[in-house]
Amino acid sequence: MKFLAKLNEIKSRHPDKKISIIIGFPVEHSLSPAMHNNAYKDLKIYDEYAYDKLEVKEDELREFFVDLKHFNIINGCIIGLTCTMPHKINIIQYLDSLGDEAKVIKAVNSVFFDGQKYIGYNTDWYGIERPFKERGIHINNKKVAIIGAGGASRACVYAFKKNDCLISIFNRTIEKAKVLAEEFGCEAFELKDNDDKIGENDIIVNMTNVGMGDLVGKSPVKKEVLKKNHIIFECIYKPSETKLAEYAKEVGAEVILGYEMLLYQGVKQFEIYTSKIPRVEAMKEVL
């Protein structure tokens, strides 16, 4: 029942609106509410929609969902639920159905409540694919090194597999890389001592925490393996420029920064929650 009071508080902050919330832990510094609210204002639908946040820890997800369902039977106003760390995989058991991409990726970052059912979608893969398209870079058949084998990496493997890329997954825990690689038909390697192998690829993607939090200033690969013709994709947006991005710029490589993934997964999510297309600039200007 703990979350009922919190959901009521959120409702009272946004009376008579269709509300989306981002849940996770930590969630305090999430940029998603600002990004979506700015786009609602830009489309002049802010009197109809609002986007808020709510801290839900890993072991609280079940209680949260029970309370949410209860709340929505009476109120029905929470229409969107954005899941960030650590809920992207665990949330699936509470949903009524999944969109096509989420079914394959087996991770959900966006839940839409249509008034009856909770439907899970994954838009992270779109946040990975679109920055390449924006630059006119064709990724078909490219060799890609994905560093990390967690939830974000699943969407990443899907995005590159969809474009017929040759994918190698590098992870600190090799067993996790092997499971993911087997599922999607890729190769798996241990991250440690494999920098040269990572350097043999066209695109190098960081999907680990290395570079943020306690690991600020650290890079998952040595600078020496990065070359001018590499494309580096970073998923971390805080700090805005990681050590890996800094190295990549120093060697003259193309860099796609973490905020771009955040932006475009949000663009697709906005479409799911509102059935409207946001202006990308309106979402981007608050990042």
Active site positions, annotated: 88
State the minimum distance, in angstroms, from the CB of residue 286 to ligand ATR.
22
Verify binding: residue 153, ligand ATR, rule CB under 6 A: yes
Distance, CA of 253 to CA of 242 (rounded, Å)? 14
Verify binding: residue 152, ligand ATR, rule CB under 6 A: yes
Q: Work out which of 24, 80, 127, 151 binds ligand ATR, going by CB under 6 A.
A: 151
Comparing CB distances to ligand ATR, the nearer of 266 and 278 is 266
Site pattern 208..227 for ligand ATR (x: CB under 6 A): xxx----x------------
Nearest residue by C-beta to ligand ATR?
150
Q: Do 32 and 82 contact (CB within 8 A), yes or no?
A: yes
State the minimum distance, in angstroms, from the CB of residue 124 to ligand ATR.
9
State the minimum distance, in angstroms, from the CB of residue 195 to ligand ATR.
13
State the minimum distance, in angstroms, from the CB of residue 64 to ligand ATR.
18
Site pattern 171..190 for ligand ATR (x: CB under 6 A): xxx--x--------------
- CA 225, 231, 234, 240 dihedral sign is positive
Q: Which residues 62-121 are close enough to bind ligand ATR by CB under 6 A?
A: 85, 88
Beta strands in the chain (DSSP E): 18-24, 49-55, 78-83, 97-98, 110-113, 118-121, 143-147, 166-171, 187-190, 203-206, 231-234, 254-256
Distance, CA of 265 to CA of 109 (rounded, Å)? 9
Torsion angle of C-alpha atoms 56, 58, 63, 66, degrees rounded to 10: 80
Distance, CA of 56 to CA of 78 (rounded, Å)? 15
Judged by the rule CB under 6 A, the positions of this chain that interact with ligand ATR are 85, 88, 148-153, 171-173, 176, 191, 207-210, 215
